[in-house]
Structure 1
Amino acid sequence: MPDQTTPALPTLPVTFRPSRTRVVLLTAGAAIFVVLTVIALLIPGLSPGERTSFIFTGALLFGVLMLLSRPKVVADESGVTVVNIATSRRLAWAEIVQVNLRPGDPWVFLNLSDGTSLPALGIQPGIAKERAIRDARALRALADTRSAGAPETPQG
């Protein structure tokens, strides 16, 4: 009987992202923008500056929610790109020592060969816990497979 915890390796390139969370954030952002814009246009007696401030506030909130929906993890033949809220980092497969998603973790953590840990917000068990676990296992299997065949890089 095959091992249930080891997933089949996904076809590369593959993108992991919290799709449901992304949909909720972008839908809420669009709704907030539309509601504030409609309010700005329908309230009588507002000056053009006040109307603009309503619309600007809606656009600002939508922009913040767009940033929060940005995280993803993209795996391809040469490595992994981790895109978090404000940063992006490219890693070679050999740099990834371990992929962790422990109970209670808000997202996956990548233990790196330099001794640091990198949060990968693109795999998070918020709304879709089972999918996050499946994605973390797939990324772990890819990292184990790709790192095993990578030549050791000398540390200078």
Structure 2
Amino acid sequence: MSGASRPDAAGTDPYRVFRPRFGLLSAWFTGVVVVGGCVLVGLTATGPMGAAPVNRISVAVFALFAAWLLWRLGGVHATPTPRGLRVRNVIYARELAWAEIVSVRLASGDPWVHLDLADGSTLAVMGIQTADGARGQAEARRLAALVQAHGEAAEHDDL
């Protein structure tokens, strides 16, 4: 267990945060396009419908909702500590002790890592995504190694 707190073979911290690159870039790019488009429409719309205050307000509300949703999508991550794993997905965050995690899976068709938990349930970890290619696979292996180092994972499927 003490080996999990040391830097790995690449000299990096095994407890660094799991954060997708492609998802973050996609969220920022989409946010700029959507919010920028809403601002453009809100400022330049003319005619009886475009200039109506209720329409400008609805465009502003949509832009705020889209910005919030994209901020949540761009903020997904998983934070490992010596005590466990904190998973922040789009809507919720969940704290897990290492003992709760039975296995780590990232199958070829899965968009992100799934954890099989001791209570029989499954938890998605959107912070490690297949869209990141080889980096996503490496991050899944790093998480599996952390789980194994803390002594609770007997098997790691599809890694």
Q: TM-score interval w.r.t. the shorter chain?
A: 0.7 to 0.9
Provide the secondary structure at the position in 2 that maps to 1:121. Answer: strand
> How many residues are matched?
142
Q: Which residue of 2 aligns with 1:67?
A: 72
Measured at CA, do residues 9 and 112 of structure 1 come closer, stay the same or move farther in structure 2, by a change above 3 Å? farther
Q: Which residue of 1 aligns with 2:138?
A: 134
TM-fit CA distance, 1:143: 0.7
Q: Which residue of 2 aligns with 1:144?
A: 148
**Residue 113 of structure 1 pairs with residue 118 of structure 2:** yes
TM-fit CA distance, 1:8: 5.9
Query: C-alpha deviations, 1:106-143, integer Å up to 9, x for none?
Result: 211111222222111111102x1111100000000111
1:72-91 correspondence to structure 2 within 5 Å: 72-91=77-96
Is contact 1:10-1:138 (8 Å) kept? no
Query: Which structure 2 residue ranges, 5 or more long, are not aligned?
Result: 1-7, 153-159
Alpha-carbon RMSD across the aligned residues, in angstroms, is: 2.1
Is contact 1:12-1:76 (8 Å) kept? no
TM-fit CA distance, 1:7: 6.6
Measured at CA, do residues 96 and 19 of structure 1 come closer, stay the same or move farther in structure 2, by a change above 3 Å? same
Query: C-alpha deviations, 1:61-115, integer Å up to 9, x for none?
Result: 2222222223211101111011111111111112112111122112111112222
Is contact 1:17-1:123 (8 Å) kept? yes
TM-score with structure 2 length normalisation?
Answer: 0.79
Looking at structure 2, the residues matched to 8 and 109 of structure 1 have their Cα atoms a distance apart, in angstroms, of 25
Query: Which structure 1 residue ranges, 5 or more long, are not aligned?
Result: 1-5, 149-156
Is contact 1:107-1:125 (8 Å) kept? yes
Query: C-alpha deviations, 1:29-51, integer Å up to 9, x for none?
Result: 13211221122112234022222
Is contact 1:82-1:90 (8 Å) kept? yes
TM-score with structure 1 length normalisation?
Answer: 0.80
Identity of aligned residues (%): 31
Provide the secondary structure at the position in 2 that maps to 1:143. Answer: helix
1:31-46 correspondence to structure 2 within 5 Å: 31-45=33-47, 46=51
